[in-house]
């Protein structure tokens, strides 16, 4: 059996009881180590807690060597550990599809994910639209596909959760060109970098999906004892030092419920500025016209 087990968000002990019992009986235990990090744990502390060897699974192994992970899983139990929920924002459906092809049964043991724990900021999960990812810009590569999704969400008055890039085990262009297997230190995008990149793209697109005054929430270290939220305008968050990773960013929709406003006001360094930004933003909300259906067209 292949078990996909969620580890939750922060501590070794965030694993569920069922998850832990399963890890302890599995023949091999892999830790998916490139889409998120368990903020207060590492391979060594996990091994100690489980009393089992933990094999780090990088992108290369998961995407190119899934048959190695699945080897023997027709008869043995194999655990594949994922930070957060195994299917929350990181979908390991490829691994499941390969297991199905090989007639390997699988079982998913869920846990908290950034996708639901973000509700702790006080915004209603019902009022979120499409989640988007933001990648690190380079001088020559500034992918902006996130912009259209934020625009669509904002046209519906919905909040947008932006998940921020993580770079682990990346090679510099020079090392790659020379075929040297030297990896750069891990990098985690900060709330400030995310806000700056967003402002840069609005500056070039000028379609008004959002602007410097748009109210946002910076989310840091969800689920950890140092969890923090910062409610302010996008422009202010571009200067905000949120500390240690992990970070996410929320662009508010432009029809924030009064209860949401009251809840998030506690996270604002300047409540008046936040309330004004929310009020001004609400003026921009125009209910989209229903599509015109011509009954006489075929």
Ligand X SMILES: C[S@@+](CC[C@H](N)C(=O)[O-])C[C@H]1O[C@@H](n2cnc3c(N)ncnc32)[C@H](O)[C@@H]1O
Query: If binding is defined by CB under 6 A, does position 223 make contact with ligand X?
Result: yes
Task: Give CA torsion, residues 10, 16, 17, 23, to 10 deg.
Answer: -80
Output the six-digit token pair for 216. 């946002």
Interaction residues for ligand X, span 175-214 (CB under 6 A): none
Q: Is 87 known as a binding-site position?
A: no
Query: If binding is defined by CB under 6 A, does position 264 make contact with ligand X?
Result: no
Query: If binding is defined by CB under 6 A, does position 83 make contact with ligand X?
Result: yes
Stretch that binds ligand X, among 99-107, 244-252, 258-266, 277-285 (CB under 6 A): 244-252
Handedness of CA 69, 75, 81, 86 (dihedral sign): positive
Stretch that binds ligand X, among 44-52, 63-71, 243-251, 275-283 (CB under 6 A): 243-251
Among residues 84, 122, 129, 215, which is the contact residue for ligand X, using CB under 6 A? 84
The distance of closest approach from Cβ of residue 95 to ligand X in the complex, given in angstroms and rounded to an integer, is 13
Contact at 8 Å (CB) between 253 and 278? no
Query: If binding is defined by CB under 6 A, does position 4 make contact with ligand X?
Result: no
Among residues 88, 122, 129, 253, which is the contact residue for ligand X, using CB under 6 A? 88
Q: Is 114 known as a binding-site position?
A: yes
Q: Give Cα separations from 83 to 52, 68, 189, 202, 296 (angstroms).
A: 17, 21, 17, 32, 53
Output the six-digit token pair for 58. 């990088």
Interaction residues for ligand X, span 131-170 (CB under 6 A): 163-164, 166
Q: Is 222 known as a binding-site position?
A: yes
Q: Looking at beta carbons, which residue is closest to ligand X?
A: 84
Q: Give Cα separations from 144 to 197, 198, 204 (angstroms).
A: 9, 9, 10
Contact footprint for ligand X (CB under 6 A): 9, 35-36, 82-85, 88-90, 113-115, 163-164, 166, 219, 221-223, 246-248
């Amino acid at each position: 059996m292949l078990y996909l087990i969620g580890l939750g968000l922060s501590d070794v002990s965030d694993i569920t009881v069922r998850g832990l019992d399963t890890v302890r009986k599995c023949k091999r235990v892999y830790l998916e180590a490139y889409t998120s990090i368990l903020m207060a744990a590492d391979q060594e502390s996990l091994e100690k807690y489980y009393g089992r060897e933990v094999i780090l699974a990088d992108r290369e192994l998961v995407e190119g060597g899934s048959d190695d992970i699945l080897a023997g899983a027709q008869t043995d139990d194999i655990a594949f550990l994922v930070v957060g929920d195994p299917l929350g924002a990181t979908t390991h459906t490829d691994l499941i599809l390969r297991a199905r092809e090989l007639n390997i049964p699988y079982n998913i043991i869920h846990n908290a994910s950034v996708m639901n724990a973000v509700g702790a900021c006080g915004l209603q999960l019902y009022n979120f639209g499409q989640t988007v990812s933001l990648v690190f810009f380079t001088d020559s590569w500034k992918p902006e596909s996130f912009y259209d999704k934020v625009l669509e969400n904002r046209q519906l008055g919905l909040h947008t959760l932006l998940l921020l890039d993580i770079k682990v085990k990346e090679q510099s262009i020079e090392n790659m060109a020379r075929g040297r297997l030297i990896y750069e230190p891990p990098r985690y995008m900060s709330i400030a970098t995310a806000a700056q990149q967003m402002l840069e793209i609005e500056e070039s697109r000028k379609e008004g999906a959002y602007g410097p005054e748009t109210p946002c929430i910076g989310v840091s270290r969800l689920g950890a004892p140092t969890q923090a939220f910062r409610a302010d305008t996008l422009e202010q968050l571009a200067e905000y030092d949120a500390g240690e990773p992990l970070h996410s960013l929320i662009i508010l929709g432009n029809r924030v419920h009064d209860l949401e406003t009251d809840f998030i006001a506690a996270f604002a360094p300047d409540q008046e500025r936040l309330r004004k930004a929310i009020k001004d933003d609400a003026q921009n909300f125009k209910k989209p016209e229903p599509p015109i259906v011509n009954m006489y067209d075929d």
